[in-house]
Structure 1
Amino acid sequence: MTRIVTPVTDLLGTDLPIVQAGMSWASSCSTLPLAVSNAGGLGVVAAGPMRLPDLERTLDEMAAGTDRPWAVNLPLYRADADKVIDLLLERRPPVLIASQGGPRRYLGRFHAVGTRCLHVVAGVEHARKAADAGVDALVVVGAEAGGHPPPAMVATQVLVRAVTRAVASVPVIASGGVADGAGLAAMLALGAGAAQFGTRFLASTEATVHDAYKRAVLDAGVDATRTVGHGLGVIRALGNDFTARMLELEATGAEEALRRKMFQASTLKDAALYGDVAEGKVEAGQSAGLIDSVLPAADIVARIVGEYQSALAGLPPVIDA
């Protein structure tokens, strides 16, 4: 069995420092998370858009489908987040990854039932606060990430290094712009204990998004994404008719009410479930430009490990003159 041992793998009990991002609709199921966990990484159920009965069924499928660690991602802004928390406390997932809210809201209760608690942060100050609250690890999201990048748009390489220097006692999972084993090696070199892969796993056979969405990811270059919704909850998505209209409104100083109306008229669901890649929010990271194939998730994990080994072997040695 192949293992890469880091503080994160020791904490979570995984074989590999590879975390599949919780992606609404793409991993709001058991299929993709089970495949990643059974391959040695950490599969993550995206609870954000799931109805409670669907989430309950998925949690049962996860528990029955693997004896390896797995996680649930919960955005705390969800209107019925307290009901989701109650369900998760009953089901006791091995790992909780919470985002967009404070950790004190949930931390003590999940620690009491044995769940490891990871918190998503996008800056050094928030990282310090989460660490002081007692989280088990931090997921540090940089500007290259798809979906919701940090408002300050600090690049992953800089932000991860800043957080690992500021909060050295808490393991870090780096997220944003990582699509292969070379990226994993880079994040571990910066002091992270694992890397989170989102867009790479969008292009997997198990990801439950429309084929048109996956094709859009494969067709994208590294410069194909746009950030829109500034002041409204900025997102990074592939450029399309929707992002073009948003960028025009932002460039001409349109009133917030008009921008908000346009922003809310388009949804991730339109793109992910219905394949509307022209008008929907095709959320993806800059790493889409590094992806050229749709593969089974287990093959993606194995490929990342092989690329990681090649990256390490290719580093030049230190030569004493």
Structure 2
Amino acid sequence: MIRTRFTGLVGTELPIVQAGMSWASSCSALPLTVSGAGGLGVVAAGPMRLPDLARVLDEMASGTDRPWAVNLPLYRAGADEVIDLLLQRPPPVLIASQGGPRRYLDRFHAAGTVCLHVVAGVEHAAKAAAAGVDGLVVVGAEAGGHPPPAMVTTQVLVRAVATAVPEIPLVASGGVADGAGLAAMIALGADAAQFGTRFLATPESSVHPAYKAAVVGAAVEDTRTVGHGLGLIRTLANDFTARMAELEEQGTDLESRRTAFTASTLRDAALSGDVAGGKVEAGQSAGLVSEILPAAELVARIAEEYRAAVARLDRA
């Protein structure tokens, strides 16, 4: 076990969180495996229909007696209906994003759920802490999917939030792919790290094999941020990102850029394997991913690498 405030809060053996990733963990296979290995597996409710989510919640509840979580982006269509469903089958942990915690906090606390809230800045972190959340997931600019608009790096942002709200457990997210990264985040004041891109490259991740191959083949400089003014995302460079960059450089009007931006989807890449024209959302840590590993083996390796990194510090 690696004990931190986070493991004490949620009851895991390790301060390792598998990020809730649309399509990749909109299932039970990946989160069940991660939770079974001692980390916190997270179901991504964002793109899921209610019947599918209900089925996966039942699979999680019957598949493990260890802690697990559901990630809910509060901006998704039908978020209130999702909240109602989750309250019928309360998960041990809820990770909410893209909205205010007062919308859900009291009801989930009454159901016995630990509530973590995703933030991308010091001000929002302080407000969420004041609202009474149990912990924070702090997302830096290196992250895949939706990085913070201010593009502050994880290293700086985690340190700033840890200084501003030292009383609350933090999960660092963005640019972390191994145990050395976990050790670095804990040294900065976090109590755990969230791994997204790294868990894409596992057999249990339910994205298309072409998506996984694209992540494994990427270098650290192979991601792009596109969609300025439309909802910034970080994805692997491909035909879609080249087109968006061209439109932005040409000063194309917002609605024309919106048309191009929405014509490409994460679903195209994740489920259909369109890694040229789809949104291949991944973080800069893709360049640190060189192989596909079973999720349980990956959790064990991260813990081993963490211990090795701490031992190196002790010898320094």
Give the shorter-chain TM-score range: over 0.9
Secondary structure of the 1:27 match is: coil
Deviation at 1:315, TM superposition (A): 1.7
| Alignment correspondent of 1:283 | 281
| Alignment correspondent of 2:96 | 98
Amino acid at match of 1:112: A
Secondary structure of the 2:251 match is: coil
Gaps of 5+ in 2: none
C-alpha RMSD of the superposition = 0.7
Amino acid at match of 1:96: L
For residues 149-298 of structure 1, the aligned pairs below 5 Å read 149-298=147-296
CA distance in 2: counterparts of 1:255 and 1:142, whole angstroms: 29
CA distance in 2: counterparts of 1:156 and 1:164, whole angstroms: 12
Deviation at 1:314, TM superposition (A): 1.4
Amino acid at match of 2:25: S
Q: Deviations over 1:257-306 (max 9, x none)?
A: 01100000000000000000000000000000000110110000011011
Gaps of 5+ in 1: none
Q: Deviations over 1:14-36 (max 9, x none)?
A: 00000000000000000000000
Query: Quick check: 1:49 aligned with 2:54?
Result: no
| Alignment correspondent of 2:14 | 16
CA distance in 2: counterparts of 1:143 and 1:34, whole angstroms: 28
CA distance in 1: counterparts of 2:145 and 2:106, whole angstroms: 28
Amino acid at match of 1:199: T
Amino acid at match of 1:73: N
CA distance in 1: counterparts of 2:76 and 2:250, whole angstroms: 32
Amino acid at match of 1:119: H
CA distance in 1: counterparts of 2:245 and 2:63, whole angstroms: 44
| Alignment correspondent of 2:64 | 66
* Percent identity for Structure 1 against Structure 2: 76
| Paired positions, count | 316
Deviation at 1:317, TM superposition (A): 4.4
| Alignment correspondent of 2:307 | 309
CA distance in 1: counterparts of 2:225 and 2:236, whole angstroms: 9
Secondary structure of the 2:53 match is: helix
Secondary structure of the 2:247 match is: helix
CA distance in 1: counterparts of 2:311 and 2:130, whole angstroms: 38
CA distance in 2: counterparts of 1:180 and 1:286, whole angstroms: 13
Which range is displaced more, 309-318 or 283-292? 309-318
